[in-house]
Amino acid sequence: MSITITAFARSPDGGRGLARDTRIRWALEEVGQPYEVRPVSFGAMKEPAHLALHPFGQIPTYEEGDLALFETGGIVFHIAQRYAGLLPDDANARARAIAWLFAALNTVEPPILELGTAKLLEGDKPWTAARLPLVEERVRDRLKQLSARLGDADWLDGAFSAGDLMMVSVLLRVKPSGILDEYPNLVAYVARGEARPAYKRAFAAQLAFNTRKPSTG
Ligand code: GTB
């Protein structure tokens, strides 16, 4: 059954891989499933046709036969359940990998997103100078804990899993801030994720997509 995802018609990051379709591309590459990408403009995202797929008017979405999904956590979980390669067979190990997937999204990503909001959307507010160090400390708290748990292991719990895919994707968002560099084992962890052939294919595909020539037809 063919798979179609949506992505920004042109990502504001110019193809640095930070928009969330990259996570879905990566998961599909890991499990060896081909996919199509439908570009969506910012305007079209808020139109009824897209809102029927995504109640919050965002990307990415995922369509496969009569299944339509939104939310990267739900989409990656679905891909990992349906296709082999992203979750261990052992039931307990599988449950732990899923817990890491949730931890990436529910525990590690929120302060990272908050840092982005504080810098990009609230950077010009008079209280930002006082607030920013607090937000950065919350990011450091989480990264310190994650770093302690990872130690010198390659991945969070045995073999690479959907939990690592999501955690690396989340950490990539904080890399430009420089805070990640304070945790060398997390830098190495992210680099291991980026070195995976499936990630490289996903990154190259989103870069080509975001730098394609405008169609003339
Ligand atoms: N919780 C949802 C999920 O995980 O699927 C969040 C989805 C989401 O935030 N989508 C963003 C979106 O559609 C794109 S990825 N935004 C448009 C809107 O809300 O109107 C977030 C994102 C956007 C831009 C960059 N960038 O330019 O670097 C990086 C990440």
Encode pLDDT of 45-75 as tens digits: 999 999 999 999 999 999 999 999 999 999 9
Q: Is 147 in the pocket of ligand 1 (CB under 6 A)?
A: no
Atom of ligand 1 at shortest distance to CA of 13? 27
Amino acid found at 67: L
Share of the chain above pLDDT 70, in %: 99
Smallest CA separation from ligand 1 atom 21, residue: 19
Smallest CA separation from ligand 1 atom 25, residue: 19
Measured in angstroms, how far is the CA atom of residue 84 from the centroid of ligand 1? 27
206, 22 Cβ separation under 8 angstroms = yes
Measured in angstroms, how far is the CA atom of residue 163 from the centroid of ligand 1? 20
Q: Tell me the pLDDT band of 210, cut-offs 50, 70 and 90.
A: very high
Atom of ligand 1 at shortest distance to CA of 59? 13
pLDDT at 54: 98
* Beta-strand runs (E) in the chain: 3-8, 36-40, 61-64, 67-70
Measured in angstroms, how far is the CA atom of residue 20 from the centroid of ligand 1? 6
Round to whole Å and give the CA distance between 7 and 18: 12
Structure tokens at 139: 């990011």
Amino acid found at 99: A
Round to whole Å and give the CA distance between 156 and 148: 11
Atom of ligand 1 at shortest distance to CA of 58? 13
Q: Tell me the pLDDT band of 96, cut-offs 50, 70 and 90.
A: very high
Which is nearest to 106 in space by CA: 80, 140, 71?
71
pTM attached to this predicted model: 0.97
Give yes or no for residue 123 having a pLDDT over 60: yes
Query: DSSP character for 172?
Result: H
Amino acid found at 90: D
Q: Is 20 in the pocket of ligand 1 (CB under 6 A)?
A: yes
Q: Which residues contact 171 (CB under 8 A, 6 or more apart)?
A: 108, 112, 180, 186, 189, 190
| Collapsed DSSP state (helix, strand, coil) of residue 156 | coil
Q: Tell me the pLDDT band of 12, cut-offs 50, 70 and 90.
A: very high
* Residue-by-residue DSSP string for 101-148: HHHIIIIIHHHHHHHHIIIIISTTSTTHHHHHHHHHHHHHHHHHHHHH
